[in-house]
Structure 1
Amino acid sequence: MDVSRKGGDLEEVEIDLRDSSDPEELDDGEQTPWRAPAAPQDQEENIHTSSLVDISDTKPLLDVRDPRGINDCLKVTFEDVIAEPASVRSGDRVWIWSHALFEVSRVWMYRMVTALLAIPVSLLSGILFAVLSCVHIWMVGPCLRGILIGTRWLQSLWDVVLDVIVGPLLTSAGRCCGGFSVHLAEE
C-alpha cells in the first residue's frame, strides 16, 4: 500500500470506457453509474457541528460514515492491488477494463454482502454492547468501587512501605552507584 496516500485524501480518477474514436463526448457532467459521488471537501471538518449530531446521536451520518478513521486500512484502490512495471505492460484496453471491473465488482459485491449482513450484524452488535454496558455499569463498576473502598487501608499501607523502606533504599543505592563513571576508549 502506498504510505504517502494513507494520511491524505485520495484523488478520484475517472475512467473513460468509451472508444477513443467515438465522436460523441459526454461533457455534461454525467457520472458513470458505478462511481460513487465525491463527498464535499469541507464535510469532514464539520462532522461535529452537523445538524444530524445536534438532532439525535442515534441518526447515522450519511456523508461521513467513518468520522474517526477506524477503517483507514481498507482504503484500497486498484493501484494498491495491481501494478504493472514499465518493462511488462498489458494493452491499454485491458488495463482500463481491468480497472473498471475491479471497481465495479468491489463496490457491488460490498453492497450485496452488506445488504445481507448489515442488519443482523448491527442488531447483534447493538445487543452485545447493550449487555456489556449494563454489566459494566451495574456490576463491574460497583464491585470495583466496593473493592477499592474496602482495601483503602491496604493502599495506604503500601504507600507507607514505599515511602519508608523502598524509597530511601533505592535513593541510597542510586547515590552509591552515582560515583562510578565508565569511560569507553578505543584501542
Structure 2
Amino acid sequence: MDTMMKGEDSEEVEIDLEDSSDPEEYDNGTEPEMLWRAPPALEDEENIHTSTLVEISDTKPLINVRDPRGINDCLKVTFEDVIAEPVSVRSGDRVWIWSHALFEVSRVWIYRIVTVLLAIPVSVISGLLFAILSCFHIWMVGPCVQCVSIGTRWLQSLWNVVLSIIVRPLLLSAGKCCGGFSVHLAKE
C-alpha cells in the first residue's frame, strides 16, 4: 500500500496497488471504494458569487471574525455596563427604553462615522510603520545581531568556562555554607 502526501495542508491519500480482481476480498457484497477518484465537488451558495481571487485571499476569514485573538475584549460594552439604575431610584419605562435605544444607535453610528473618517488613513500609516520596522529589523537589526554573535563566539565560550569553573563552584559552596543557618522567630 503506497501513501502519498502533498504539502502540509493536504490530507493523506491511500492508493491501493493490489490486484482488485480477487472475488474473495468482497464477500460482504459491497463495492470497493475507489480511492483514486475524487468525490464530486458540491458548490455552496456562498461560493457561487465569489471569484477565485477572493477564495484564496488571506482576508476572507477576517470578514466574519474581526478580533480572533480577543485583543479588544475590554471594548465589549453594552448599555447595562454603562448605565444602571438601582431599585430605589427609577426613571420612567419609556425614558429607559429610549435611552437604551439612543445609546445603542449613537454608539454604532458614531463608531461607523469615525471609522469611515479614520480607518483608511490609520491603516495606511500603520502599514507603512510596520513595513518600515519590518524592513529595518530584517535588513539591519538581524544581520547586525548575527555579526556580533559570530564575532563574539569565542567570548561566549570563554564566559561559559569562567562560569562553570569559577562562579558556579563558588556560589554552590556559599549556598551550602549558608544552608546550615536557620532563623527562628519567636514572639516574646
Q: Into which bin does the TM-score normalised by the smaller protein fall? A: 0.5 to 0.7
Q: Which amino acid aligns with 2:131?
A: A
Structure 2 counterpart of 1:38:
none
Aligned-partner Cα distance in 1 for 2:175–2:121: 61
Q: Identity of aligned pairs, percent?
A: 82
Aligned 1:31-46 pairs, distance under 5 A: none
Structure 1 counterpart of 2:104:
103
SS of alignment partner, residue 64 of structure 2:
coil
Q: Which amino acid aligns with 1:156?
A: S
Structure 1 counterpart of 2:95:
94
Aligned-partner Cα distance in 2 for 1:54–1:177: 67
Q: CA deviation at 1:56?
A: 2.5
Structure 1 counterpart of 2:151:
150
SS of alignment partner, residue 62 of structure 1:
helix
Q: Which amino acid aligns with 2:104?
A: E
Q: CA deviation at 1:183?
A: 2.4
SS of alignment partner, residue 187 of structure 2:
coil
Which moves more between the two structures, 57-66 or 175-184? Answer: 57-66
Q: CA deviation at 1:95?
A: 0.8
So what's the TM-score if we normalise by structure 1? 0.68
Higher relative contact order (CA 8 A, sep 6+): 1
Q: CA deviation at 1:152?
A: 1.0
Aligned-partner Cα distance in 2 for 1:112–1:179: 70
Structure 2 counterpart of 1:28:
none
Q: Which amino acid aligns with 1:174?
A: G
Aligned-partner Cα distance in 2 for 1:179–1:139: 52
Structure 2 counterpart of 1:179:
180
| Runs (5+) with no aligned partner, structure 1 | 1-51
Aligned-partner Cα distance in 1 for 2:124–2:90: 47
So what's the TM-score if we normalise by structure 2? 0.68
Higher-Rg member (1/2): 2
Aligned-partner Cα distance in 1 for 2:181–2:119: 66
For the aligned residue pairs, the C-alpha RMSD in angstroms reads: 1.9
1:61 to 2:62 alignment:
yes
Which moves more between the two structures, 82-91 or 104-113? Answer: 82-91
| Runs (5+) with no aligned partner, structure 2 | 1-52
1:124 to 2:130 alignment:
no
